[in-house]
């Protein structure tokens, strides 16, 4: 598509994932022919001619080093610095679980402390490009803070729809950025449905995970790009990601596939596995029980950010997992809590229950023989434990105060050694 200055763009427009119908790039998420979801349609020949490892490596230390693979024109990014986070070689956790080459991409260190900064930076940049007058989202908390923060940076009002029951820490954080918060008496799916209706009535607002969703999900591909780059432009053998809507897992796989297609990595023949909390596991149950994804209404889990009963990309996530030879796990809340402390204790990374779900899922998959000890395995830890303190405090032993004397310390130390 011409941009008016004879500069060819790497983005042709949008196309339907189901029937292939094509549309120009706009605020649109649904195919008018078959109601299927839209995805970004790239000009891969153009991209191939303009991309190289060297160009990427000279780029900024953020997702925008991969701008040639993101659906944005120009360089006026709404950028708080999301991405290009450390890929930890998790030797301690690997040893504990019996994995010889385990890596963790730590997303808890993003600007608002979850992977949602990646997708939001892309979506809000795109919203500005489209001339949107406001941005919004439906969120279980992490996306809310990401959208409110990027909207603040962009100088746009934001409308955030959340289930009223999410963690207070997340409400505290998102409130600081000054969004309009609509707390819905219901589940995430209720908040999402309401937000969808509101978004549909305001075509000049960009709801990041609703009306500009085709662009938004592209931001998650950068998790694959920077993993491969930090592995010396190689793909892992296996990756494990959390499952909420299923969009993240699909986008990561798509990211590896694109790198292989462009010749930046040798192959994207990767096993893909997912983890979803047992109390809300429509996708992982579909994988484990070999059935279609059936939306669920009642969900009970401490992993609020994964509590999506009607996962928008569940159908595709199940397919990606099964086609790759991967599998899925459904840990219990107790296993999730144990995994949070296991990760913190072994690798010094403090994650929220969604990250605990992924680590607990990893443990189950290893125990079930679904991950071979010699597979180079990458795990995506997507959010920060500081956001879920009200959940974790119940599982934390608060130390008793001692008098500030050496004698008291020695008494305490003797007890600590005994433990």
Partner 1 sequence: MVKVRFSSALNSVTGTRETTLDLGDTTVKGVFDELNSKFGAEFEKRIFENGEVRRFVNVYVNGEDIRHESGLETAVTDSDEISILPAVSGG
- By the criterion CB under 8 A, which residues form the site for partner 1? 18, 29-38, 138, 188-190, 192-197, 199-201, 203, 207, 209-210, 213, 244-248, 294-295, 297, 308, 310-313, 315
Q: Least separation, in Å, of the C-beta of 50 and partner 1?
A: 30
What does the alpha-carbon distance between residue 78 and residue 75 come to, in Å, rounded to a whole number?
A: 9
What does the alpha-carbon distance between residue 419 and residue 414 come to, in Å, rounded to a whole number?
A: 9
Q: Least separation, in Å, of the C-beta of 308 and partner 1?
A: 5
| Nearest CB to partner 1, comparing residues 210 and 336 | 210
Q: Least separation, in Å, of the C-beta of 295 and partner 1?
A: 6
> Which residues, in sequence order, are CB contacts of 304 under 8 Å at separation 6+?
140, 141, 163, 165, 166, 167, 170, 353, 388
Beta pairing, strands 38-42 & 11-16: antiparallel
| Nearest CB to partner 1, comparing residues 37 and 236 | 37
DSSP letters along 88-115, please?
A: EE-HHHHHHHT-SEEEEEEGGGSTTSBT
Whose CA is closest to 137, among 154, 116, 153?
Answer: 116
| Nearest CB to partner 1, comparing residues 162 and 265 | 162
Q: Least separation, in Å, of the C-beta of 365 and partner 1?
A: 22
Neighbours of 12 (CB within 10 A): 17
* Burial state string for 310-323 with b = 16 or more CB within 10 A and e = fewer than 16: bbbbbbbbbbbbee
Residue 184's H or E segment, with its range, is: strand 180-184
Whose CA is closest to 118, among 302, 308, 311, 255?
Answer: 255
| Nearest CB to partner 1, comparing residues 84 and 316 | 316
Give the Å distances, CA to CA, from 70 to 13, 34, 145, 212, 409: 12, 26, 22, 14, 56
Q: Least separation, in Å, of the C-beta of 65 and partner 1?
A: 26
Residues in the chain: 419
| Nearest CB to partner 1, comparing residues 96 and 190 | 190
| Nearest CB to partner 1, comparing residues 148 and 247 | 247
Q: Least separation, in Å, of the C-beta of 363 and partner 1?
A: 24
| Nearest CB to partner 1, comparing residues 165 and 234 | 165
For the CA atoms of the chain, what is the radius of gyration?
A: 21
Q: Least separation, in Å, of the C-beta of 56 and partner 1?
A: 28
Question: Is 185 strand, coil or helix?
Answer: coil
At how many degrees (to 10) do helices 168-176 and 142-154 cross? Answer: 0
Alpha carbon 5 to its chain centroid, in Å, reads 35
Whose CA is closest to 86, among 64, 110, 60, 65?
Answer: 110
| Nearest CB to partner 1, comparing residues 60 and 186 | 186
Handedness of CA 287, 219, 42, 261 (dihedral sign): negative
| Nearest CB to partner 1, comparing residues 114 and 230 | 114
Q: Least separation, in Å, of the C-beta of 285 and partner 1?
A: 15
DSSP-derived secondary structure letter, 26: S
Q: Least separation, in Å, of the C-beta of 316 and partner 1?
A: 11
Q: Least separation, in Å, of the C-beta of 206 and partner 1?
A: 13
| Nearest CB to partner 1, comparing residues 248 and 340 | 248
| Nearest CB to partner 1, comparing residues 295 and 325 | 295
Q: Least separation, in Å, of the C-beta of 138 and partner 1?
A: 6
Q: Which residues pair with 238 in a beta bridge?
A: 271, 377
């Amino acid at each position: 598509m011409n941009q008016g200055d004879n500069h060819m763009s790497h983005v042709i427009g949008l196309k339907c994932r189901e029937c292939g119908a094509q549309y120009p790039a706009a605020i649109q998420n649904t195919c008018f022919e078959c109601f299927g979801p839209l995805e970004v349609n790239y000009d891969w020949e153009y991209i191939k001619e303009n991309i190289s490892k060297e160009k990427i490596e000279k780029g900024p230390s953020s997702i925008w080093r991969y701008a040639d693979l993101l659906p944005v024109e120009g360089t006026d990014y709404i950028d708080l610095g999301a991405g290009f986070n450390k890929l930890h070689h998790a030797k301690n956790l690997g040893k504990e679980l019996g994995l010889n080459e385990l890596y963790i991409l730590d997303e808890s260190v993003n600007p608002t402390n979850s992977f949602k900064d990646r997708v939001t930076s892309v979506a809000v940049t795109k919203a500005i490009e489209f001339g949107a007058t406001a941005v919004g989202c439906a969120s279980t908390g992490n996306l809310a803070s990401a959208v409110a923060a990027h909207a603040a940076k962009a100088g746009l009002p934001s409308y955030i729809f959340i289930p009223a029951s999410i963690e207070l820490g997340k409400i505290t954080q998102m409130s600081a950025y000054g969004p309009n918060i609509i707390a819905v008496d219901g589940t995430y799916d209720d908040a999402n449905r309401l937000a969808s209706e509101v978004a549909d009535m305001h075509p000049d607002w960009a709801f990041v995970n609703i009306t500009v969703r085709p662009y938004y999900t592209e931001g998650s591909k950068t998790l694959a790009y920077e993993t491969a780059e930090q592995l010396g432009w190689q793909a892992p053998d296996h990756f494990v990601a959390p499952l909420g809507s299923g969009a993240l897992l699909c986008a990561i796989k798509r990211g590896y596939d694109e790198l292989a297609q462009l010749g930046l990595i040798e192959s994207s023949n990767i096993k893909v596995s997912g983890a979803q909390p047992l109390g809300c596991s429509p996708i992982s149950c579909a994988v484990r029980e070999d059935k279609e994804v059936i939306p669920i209404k009642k969900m009970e889990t401490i992993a609020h950010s994964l509590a999506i009963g009607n996962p928008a990309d569940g159908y595709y996530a199940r397919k990606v997992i099964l086609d790759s030879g991967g599998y899925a796990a459904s840990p219990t809340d107790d296993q999730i809590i144990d995994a949070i402390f296991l990760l913190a204790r072994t690798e010094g990374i403090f994650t929220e229950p969604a990250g605990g779900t992924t680590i607990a899922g990893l443990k189950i998959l290893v125990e079930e023989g679904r991950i071979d000890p010699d597979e180079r395995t990458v795990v995506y830890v997507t959010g920060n434990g500081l956001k879920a303190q009200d959940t974790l405090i119940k599982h934390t032993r608060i130390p008793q105060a001692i008098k500030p004397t050496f004698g008291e310390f020695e008494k305490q130390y003797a007890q600590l050694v005994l433990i």
